[in-house]
Amino acid sequence: MAAFAVSRVCGYNALIPHTTRSVPIHMQNDVPHIGELSPPQRILLAPGPTNAPPSVLGALIAPLTGHKDPFYLTVMDETAQLLRYAYQTQTATCLTLPGTGGAGMEASMANLIQLGDTAIVCINGLFGSRIAEIVERCGGTAIRVTAPWGKPVDPDDVRRALSGVRARVVSTVHGETSTGVEQPIDEIGRIAQENGAMLVVDAVATLGGIPVVPDQWGSAVCYSASQKCLSAPPGLSTIAVSPSAMEYVRGRETPVNSWYLDLGLHDKYWFAAERTYHHTAPVLLGYAMHEALRLIAAEGLEARFERHALHSRALVAGLEALEVELFPDPAYRLPTVLAVVVPDGVNDARVRSSLLNEFGIEIAGGLGEYAGLMWRIGVMGYSATRDNMLLLLTALEDLLAREGGAPAAGAGVAAANAVYAEAIRNGVSADTPAIYTSGS
């Protein structure tokens, strides 16, 4: 064992080794020799994470403060204000939770579900199934209302599931990342209210990319994640909680079964007149989220939604020109995540590997029973640009030709450019917003 001495370091007693010579030879030989990190540059076109704007990355190397420093408390206040803008809500309780989108999902159920409660869970992909599992882990009963992958859940099926049932929660996924389906929420929200149930909406793949309107839907809780359309680094979940839902959480008969995700405790840290310490916040991630949300406000929601829709339409046109089939029902296609069928005879893993290693582009494969059969492409946030869409189409054309396909040379790019040309004629810019290039 190495010899240690007591020394004064920064005013504290500390144990430090006398010299490296006191370390046994065999331990010295075990010291790992690992070089400094040098990550590759990637174009991130999976359904998250996205590339982050330079000013968001810059926020990660800003001076670190404590999580109770007055400066950081102001950052929290402004972040809450910016989140209300992104969620288009008047609710006071808009905040971030430490953890990815799964933290928002689990917090929603842990705070609303008590032992013996029933939840109606809409499932048309992987993430609805995950919600049902969390309900059951919280001691509730999950009644699964299912639809085939690629289709939305039928509101009438939700209504039938609620017949004769006293449900605490109805949950649904706004944008199912595993299938590229956008679920209409309004009717499900009305059905939940008619039956006295609290609506929970997963907006992980949609917040900041298409309209997310919890006040209009009547949702009790709506949550999302930092790394998708918001284009902040992974590591934070965002959540908007209605006043009635917060009142319910504060008045629960039993404590929330997760201390770490107890929204009542987080609410006191974020909004109480005398803030109550709950956890050591990831301050640098908080800075980055603040900057990502500031950029969204600077771009403006309508312009941002228009940008996502344009690049999604262009990519769809290009993929169709390459004879790549879109997976979901076209009427419910999610603009921010395009799920496509891997063409017959094409090796999924080989194409994605070549995209990454030769072109520096990341897309995602299928999940569950569609592993190896589907590609999932994110059209999200800072990564949603004309250059990225055209580069992906160029690379796919090359790789599909290698796999034995015969797409017409330049067909994908030409089809996408036709969409951009029409948009420009109609006064819609296809350029990257100036806020991302000017640093303003």
Q: What is the set of domains in the chain, with CATH numbers? A: 54-298 (3.40.640.10), 300-438 (3.90.1150.10)
- Work out the average pLDDT over 189-216: 98
Q: Look at residue 30 in the predicted model and tell me its pLDDT.
A: 81
pLDDT tens-digit series, residues 141-163: 999 999 999 999 999 999 999 99
Give CA–CA dist 250/261, Å, rounded. Answer: 13
What integer pLDDT is reported at residue 17 of this predicted model?
43
| Banded pLDDT at 25 (limits 50, 70, 90) | low
Give the separation between CA 422 and CA 428, rounded to whole angstroms. Answer: 9
Residue of 266, 270, 269, 258 whose CA lies nearest to 113: 258
CB-CB contact of 96 with 266 (8 Å):
no
CA 318 to chain centre: 25
Poorest-confidence range of 103-117, 262-276, 336-350, 399-413?
399-413
pLDDT of res. 21:
55
pLDDT confidence of residue 408: 79
pLDDT for 18: 44
3 state DSSP class of 71: helix
- Mind listing the pLDDT tens digit for each residue in 313-329? 999 999 999 999 999 99
Task: For residue range 332-380, list pLDDT tens digits in order.
Answer: 999 999 999 999 999 999 999 999 999 999 999 999 999 999 999 999 9
pLDDT of residue 31: 85
Indicate whether 298 pLDDT > 50: yes
C-alpha–C-alpha distance, residues 374 and 338, integer Å: 10
The CA distances from residue 1 to 15, 21, 22, 31, in Å, are: 13, 12, 8, 15
Query: What is the pLDDT at residue 370?
Result: 96
Q: What is the pLDDT of residue 438?
A: 66
Mean pLDDT of 107-115: 98
Average pLDDT across the chain, whole number: 93
Quick one: pLDDT at residue 7? Answer: 37
Matching residue, tokens 């059969």: 373
**What is the model's pLDDT at position 9?**
37
Q: Comparing C-alpha atoms, which of 122, 126, 102 is closest to residue 183?
A: 122
C-beta separation of 240 from 222 below 8 A: yes
Least confident of 14-18, 104-108, 242-246, 348-352: 14-18
Residue 117: band (very low, low, confident or very high) from pLDDT cuts 50, 70, 90: very high
Residue whose entry in the numeric block shows the structure tokens 């290693």: 357
Question: For the whole prediction, is pTM greater than 0.85?
Answer: yes
| Residue 12: pLDDT over 70 | no
pLDDT, mean of residues 81-110: 97
Report the largest interatomic distance among the alpha carbons of the chain, rounded to a whole angstrom: 76
Rounded CA separation 321/397 (Å) = 10
pLDDT band at 407 (very low <50, low <70, confident <90, very high): confident
pLDDT for res 26 = 59
pLDDT of the residue at 44: 98
